[in-house]
Amino acid sequence: MEVSWTKAKAVFAAALGPPLFWLVLFFLVPLGIVWAYSFGRNVGLTEISFTGTFANYARAIEPLYLKIFIKSAWVAGLTTGLCLVVGFPVALAITFASEKAKAWLLLLIMLPFWTNLLIRTYALIAVLRTEGYINMSLGWLWHGGGMVAALLGLKPIGDFQPLELLHNNFAVILGLVYVHLPFMVLPLYSALDRLDRSLLEASLDLGAGQMRTLFRIVVPLALPGIASGVLITFIPALGAYLTPDLLGGPDSQMIANVIERQFKRANDWPFGAALSFVLMYLTFIAIAIQALMSRKSPEAR
166 φψ region: left (φ > 0), alpha (ψ -120 to 50), beta (else) = beta
pLDDT digits (tens, 9 = 90+) for 181-215: 999 999 999 999 988 888 888 888 788 888 888 88
CA 222, distance to chain mean position in Å, is 20
Question: How high is the pLDDT of residue 301?
Answer: 45
CB half-sphere exposure, 49, CA atoms < 13 A? 6
Please, which residues bridge with residue 40 across strands?
50
DSSP tag of 241: -
d(C-alpha 194, C-alpha 198), whole Å: 12
Residue 93 has pLDDT above 60, yes or no: yes
- Domains of the chain, start order: 51-113+167-296 (1.10.3720.10)
Question: How high is the pLDDT of residue 88?
Answer: 95
Interhelix angle 269-296/223-238, nearest 10 degrees:
170
Contact 38, 56 (CB under 8 A): yes
pLDDT digits (tens, 9 = 90+) for 99-113: 889 999 999 999 888
Residue 63 CB coordination number (10 Å): 7
The whole-number average pLDDT for the span 138-156 is: 69
- Give the global pTM: 0.85
Residue 5 has pLDDT above 80, yes or no: no
What DSSP string runs through 171-188? HHHHHHHHHHHHHHHHHH
